[in-house]
Structure 1
Amino acid sequence: MTEHQPGGHMAAEIDQQPAIFADLVSRRAEIAAVAEAIRGRAPRFVLFAARGSSDHAALYAKYLTEVLLQLPAGLVSPSTTTLYGARPDLRDVLLVTVSQSGGSPDLLEVTQSARERGALTVAVTNTPESELNGVAEMSVDVGAGVEHAVAATKTYSATLLALYLMVDAVRGGSGAEVAGIGELARAALDGSVDPVEEAVRRYRFVDRVLTTGRGYSLPSALEAALKLAETSYLAARAYSGADLLHGPVAAVDAETAVLAVTSAGLGGDALHDVLDVVHGRGADVVAVGSAAEKAPAALRIPVPETAEEVAPILEILPVQRLAHGLALARGGDPDSPRGLNKVTRTR
């Protein structure tokens, strides 16, 4: 048996993403069929249920729903159902449950309860045979394949793409903005090797990292903080750029490492002034994204430019590489973070 190399699974799964994206786009018709059923029910409100990395993907879908579909959207608090027994009237509501494993008991209960209360339920999972798929009325297969590393990489990004394809199809789109996403993902990974290595050198000995983004990039900042915390055991905290200036910026100084996710568009434009303030306070800023070259930062990790609503699918890729590199540089194994399991069961 071949001895496991620390981080080998995570590295391989990061590298698989361009091919996974291309395959998922080729299966757009399957997702469009689900979207057509959603259109037929004409929901007036959309709820998303998720945990962990999937919760960040759900937040991304919330932005897509509110901006592209012009529908109000919210994130479910599962404990209101599982612990407190809330049973709201969910007629004319679409509930999308996002779960890589499809096995968390609280998400199963939320989905079953919502269906009983009149919601149209859709499961977005990487496990087509999961119990969640049996509970929900319809399902979308993320199609990322088995993920061996505990830290989610390919399942997270593929979930983003699946959610985008679904929302885009609901609005009558053709998926044109992601037609070449596989090639762009390969360019993002190949083009970020050197700056990611430099970021690993800069961040190797830090203890505290602040991540930030605006708009569509906020979920990427949240996912970045989670990846750094679970693989490198850093004290990582994510803030919206808007919230950062409301108080937390007082804690920013020359000892603070700041990872800013900034892509071309309104969100990136809005973050620029925030980074001016942070950079002016002496923080060591690393900017990631298609607007990184314009950001006031000590180091920039650019990715190819896309429509702003698609950017999170690409901008997270070098962040995953950074988390992987930092974990190894700090003596850890990002495939098996201490105290974590692949499937977390909560209620």
Structure 2
Amino acid sequence: MSATQPGRLMFTEMTEQPSVLRRLLSQGARPIAEVAEQIAARRPRFVLLTGRGTSDNAALYAKYLLEIRLGLPCGLTSMSTTTAYGAKPDLADCLVIAVSQSGGSPDLVASTTAAREGGAITLAVTNNPDSPLARASEFAIDVLAGPEQALPATKTYTAELLALYLLVAALAGEDGTAAAARLPELAERVLARQEEVRTLAARYRFAERMVLTSRGYGYPTAREAALKLMETSYVPALAYSGADLLHGPLAMVDNVSPVIAIVTDGRGGEALRPVLDRLRDRGADLMVVGPESALAGASAGFALPTEGLVEELQPILEIIPLQLLAYEVTRARGQDPDAPRALAKVTETR
């Protein structure tokens, strides 16, 4: 790819994901386990997760992990309660996890500082271990993704997911590296199918609206894919859990606006199947991303190599073809994925 070709940075960083995952497994797992051991000794009874944009979707993934694997009640924070309204919550026995690629957003730093002052155990999960967020937190995890220059986050997202998975596995007293060992190789296999994704992108070049849906561990993938499509191609993309889609938004689905369903191979995918039936009944232009068995009856699909991969880890693989899709749709529309209008790498919300 030419050094001046539109999307060069985003494409390069997408292709780095297998090596990032390998580095995190080989170099990051032990430090994550050490942090988890110290946190587990404090026995938190509740978890609050904080993030913006892509990192907010990673935080949602962690919410599913923590509630399902550890049985800990979790919530996603509303940072404005402390940054705009000055609330001072009592967070004794609470673990607050702030997820951020840059670690530089003032509202994340301020809310984490307030949480620590309120008695919380604070943990930063970031790609910048020297960031203000990492310094404001009691504990920090480096996701080891390396410098990310493209405005659309790709490799930092999958690195955040894997770091959070390893953290939760360690909090459960388990070594998560064995279950994740095949991820880098599977990611390489998906990335090698760029031409297949380019063909799919041709279907959506002129789409005026898209709907994405999933359930369980796949729902954060739907949200992140919608974000990638909106920030690169400017196509309005709405993400709903399958259950929420049936509670009203299904009415807007027709045979014109594409629907992308992310089907995890596991309980989340099983829960989504009735939704897929309803979408087919409505004649939806349905694309499915998931195991080969889930593609039957869809208008288009991308079969994921999920064999032997536990459901909790499949979101790390699911998002890669959707990152490629956002990239290819954007280029097909004559735009530059590296330069989304009105965006900056560090968004300084307060």
For 1:231, give the aligned amino acid: T
Query: Is the 1:209–1:237 Cα contact (8 Å) retained in structure 2?
Result: yes
For residues 318 and 36 of structure 1, the distance between their equivalents in structure 2, rounded to whole angstroms, comes to 35
**What is the deviation of 1:173?**
1.1
For residues 147 and 15 of structure 1, the distance between their equivalents in structure 2, rounded to whole angstroms, comes to 12
Give the secondary structure class of the aligned counterpart of 2:342. Answer: coil
Give the secondary structure class of the aligned counterpart of 1:57. Answer: helix
Correspondences of 1:209-248 after superposition (within 5 Å): 209-248=210-249
For residues 75 and 245 of structure 1, the distance between their equivalents in structure 2, rounded to whole angstroms, comes to 23
Give the aligned partner of residue 344 of structure 1.
347
* Stretch of structure 1 that moved more, 292-301 or 33-42: 292-301
- Cα-to-partner distance string for 1:107-163 (whole Å, 9 max, x where unaligned): 001100100111000000001110111110110001101111100000111100011
**What is the deviation of 1:290?**
2.7
- Cα-to-partner distance string for 1:78-103 (whole Å, 9 max, x where unaligned): 00010111111100000000010000
For 2:336, give the aligned amino acid: D
For residues 225 and 182 of structure 2, the distance between their equivalents in structure 1, rounded to whole angstroms, comes to 24
Give the aligned partner of residue 52 of structure 2.
51
Query: Is the 1:22–1:180 Cα contact (8 Å) retained in structure 2?
Result: no
- Cα-to-partner distance string for 1:310-337 (whole Å, 9 max, x where unaligned): 1100000000000000000001000010
Correspondences of 1:125-140 after superposition (within 5 Å): 125-140=126-141
For 1:76, give the aligned amino acid: T
For 1:94, give the aligned amino acid: L
Give the aligned partner of residue 15 of structure 1.
15
Question: What is the percent sequence identity of the aligned residues?
Answer: 54
For residues 45 and 294 of structure 2, the distance between their equivalents in structure 1, rounded to whole angstroms, comes to 40
Superposition RMSD in Å: 1.1
Give the secondary structure class of the aligned counterpart of 1:163. Answer: helix
For residues 58 and 296 of structure 2, the distance between their equivalents in structure 1, rounded to whole angstroms, comes to 25
**What is the deviation of 1:291?**
5.5
Give the aligned partner of residue 209 of structure 2.
208
Give the aligned partner of residue 100 of structure 1.
101
For residues 289 and 224 of structure 1, the distance between their equivalents in structure 2, rounded to whole angstroms, comes to 14
For residues 49 and 292 of structure 2, the distance between their equivalents in structure 1, rounded to whole angstroms, comes to 29
For residues 80 and 128 of structure 1, the distance between their equivalents in structure 2, rounded to whole angstroms, comes to 26
Give the aligned partner of residue 91 of structure 1.
92
- Cα-to-partner distance string for 1:208-267 (whole Å, 9 max, x where unaligned): 000000000000000011000000000110000001011111111111200111110011
TM-score by length of 2: 0.96
Does 2:330 align with 1:320? no
Counterpart pick for 2:185 among 183, 186, 206: 183
Give the secondary structure class of the aligned counterpart of 1:25. Answer: helix
Query: Is the 1:275–1:295 Cα contact (8 Å) retained in structure 2?
Result: no
Query: Is the 2:263–2:294 Cα contact (8 Å) retained in structure 1?
Result: no
For residues 252 and 166 of structure 1, the distance between their equivalents in structure 2, rounded to whole angstroms, comes to 38
Give the aligned partner of residue 331 of structure 1.
334
Give the aligned partner of residue 196 of structure 2.
195
Query: Is the 2:289–2:295 Cα contact (8 Å) retained in structure 1?
Result: no
For residues 280 and 346 of structure 2, the distance between their equivalents in structure 1, rounded to whole angstroms, comes to 39
| Structure 2 residues not aligned, in runs of 5+ | none
**What is the deviation of 1:184?**
1.5
For residues 218 and 111 of structure 1, the distance between their equivalents in structure 2, rounded to whole angstroms, comes to 26
Query: Is the 1:98–1:125 Cα contact (8 Å) retained in structure 2?
Result: yes
TM-score by length of 1: 0.97
**What is the deviation of 1:293?**
3.8
Give the aligned partner of residue 114 of structure 2.
113
* Stretch of structure 1 that moved more, 290-299 or 26-35: 290-299
Instruction: Report how many residues are paired.
Output: 345
Give the aligned partner of residue 5 of structure 2.
5
